[in-house]
């Protein structure tokens, strides 16, 4: 089978491909190949880990040469199934089918919780005959997709997975406190993820300001990079938070840093599932989050965490205060969350994804 990944950077979707490839490699009857964009983060990952791959020049999303090469690769390697992991991968598969006659059945991953564009071509792509199943990473995503899909049996929910074993065994190493001279009596309230509109970091900063004004002597740590970094830093300074907020940038040691968080504050505006929240829960960190998309399937209010309306920094600040001022509540929610998160393992994701593959191949035969 072939995994098609065309993203240039490394985000949650690319990590899911890495997890899935690793888990499926334990299945002796499955041979996998990754096709990715040349000089992308996935290309480097495959090269560094000696994974079977082909790197193509991507160019743009309507690159017919890429679509033609995809057909040639499918023929050369006798590919029986393609898994399309991003929107441009979806585009190339449709082009490869329509222009070059590539009839390899496809499974498409859908990771975002916004609706399909209401135009003829978008609906054509998502209802294309080669798209046999659409894997939605949460029930929220599946519900959003329903109106656009003619044959709704194509939609199936398979939660994204995390490395539970690694996270549950993670321990605080003092890296953040040492690097940024954070005192032991200062709680660390953090978030991880790309600095994009989707993650709602302006609400994170507004919440930090309200908590600081309320006398909470905490450090607010943001781990990640993105195009909003400069604007966010300027906003933090305008809110006089430069001594309270730490922009830690992109880190490869997030698993070592997460256990230092005393509280995870997720302020996302839109979220397919929320792997960062899932990872925090697996580490036993109390979570206060916005009720965005699939986040509500992880954070069950008053059971596995506390939820607030999207964009409501005042409500978020109240929930953070509750957790900081009531350690028993925070501990119980974190314990419940660790139990709830067991169904979100990367092994379980791979198992359910393999069931989808077998269903598609069984139907094709």
> Domains plus CATH for the chain?
2-161+345-364 (3.40.50.2000), 164-343 (3.40.50.2000)
For residues 108 and 120, what is the distance between their CA atoms, to the nearest angstrom? 19
pLDDT at 61: 85
Please write the tens of the pLDDT for every residue from 155-209.
Answer: 999 999 999 999 988 899 999 999 999 999 999 999 999 999 999 999 999 999 9
CA quadruple 334, 267, 158, 13: dihedral sign: negative
How far from 132 is each of 108, 149, 357, CA to CA, in Å?
8, 12, 10
pLDDT at 60: 87
- List, as one string, the DSSP characters of 100-154: H-----EEEEE---SPPPSSHHHHHHHT-TTEEEEEESSHHHHHHHGGG-SSGGG
Beta-carbon-side half-sphere exposure of residue 77 (alpha carbons within 13 Å): 21
Given a cut of 70, the residues of the chain with pLDDT beneath it are 364-365
For residues 166 and 8, what is the distance between their CA atoms, to the nearest angstrom? 26
pLDDT at 328: 98
């Amino acid at each position: 089978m072939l995994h098609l990944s065309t993203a240039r950077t490394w985000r949650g979707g690319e990590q899911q491909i890495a997890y899935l490839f690793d888990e499926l490699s334990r299945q002796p009857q499955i041979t996998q190949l990754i096709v990715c964009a040349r000089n992308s983060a996935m290309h480097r990952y495959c090269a560094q880990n000696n994974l079977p791959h082909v790197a193509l020049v991507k160019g743009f999303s309507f690159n017919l040469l890429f679509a033609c090469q995809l057909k040639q690769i499918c023929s050369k390697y006798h590919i029986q199934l393609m898994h399309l992991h991003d929107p441009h991968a979806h585009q190339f598969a449709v082009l490869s089918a329509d222009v070059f006659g590539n009839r390899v059945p496809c499974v498409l991953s859908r990771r975002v919780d916004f609706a399909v564009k209401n135009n003829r071509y978008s609906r054509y792509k998502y209802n294309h005959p080669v798209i046999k199943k659409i894997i939605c990473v949460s029930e929220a995503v599946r519900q959003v997709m329903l109106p656009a899909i003619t044959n709704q049996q194509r939609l199936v929910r398979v939660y994204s997975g995390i490395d539970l074993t690694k996270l549950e065994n993670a321990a605080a190493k003092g890296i953040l406190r040492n690097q940024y001279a954070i005192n032991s009596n200062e709680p660390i309230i953090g978030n991880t993820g790309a600095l994009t509109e989707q993650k709602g970091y302006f609400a994170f900063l507004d919440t930090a300001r309200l908590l600081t004004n309320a006398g909470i002597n905490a450090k607010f740590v943001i781990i990640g990079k993105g195009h909003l970094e400069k604007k966010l830093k300027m906003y933090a300074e305008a809110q006089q938070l430069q001594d309270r907020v730490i922009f830690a940038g992109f880190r490869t040691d997030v698993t070592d840093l997460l256990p230092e968080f005393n509280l995870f504050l997720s302020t996302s505006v839109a979220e397919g599932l929320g792997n960062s929240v899932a990872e925090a829960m697996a580490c036993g960190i109390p979570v206060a989050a916005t009720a965005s998309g699939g986040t509500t399937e992880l954070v069950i209010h008053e059971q596995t965490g506390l939820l607030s309306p999207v964009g409501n920094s005042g409500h978020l600040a109240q929930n953070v205060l509750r957790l900081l001022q009531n350690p028993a509540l925070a501990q119980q929610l974190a314990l419940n969350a660790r139990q709830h998160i067991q169904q979100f393992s990367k092994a379980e994701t791979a198992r359910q994804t393999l069931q989808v593959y077998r269903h598609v191949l069984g139907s094709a035969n």
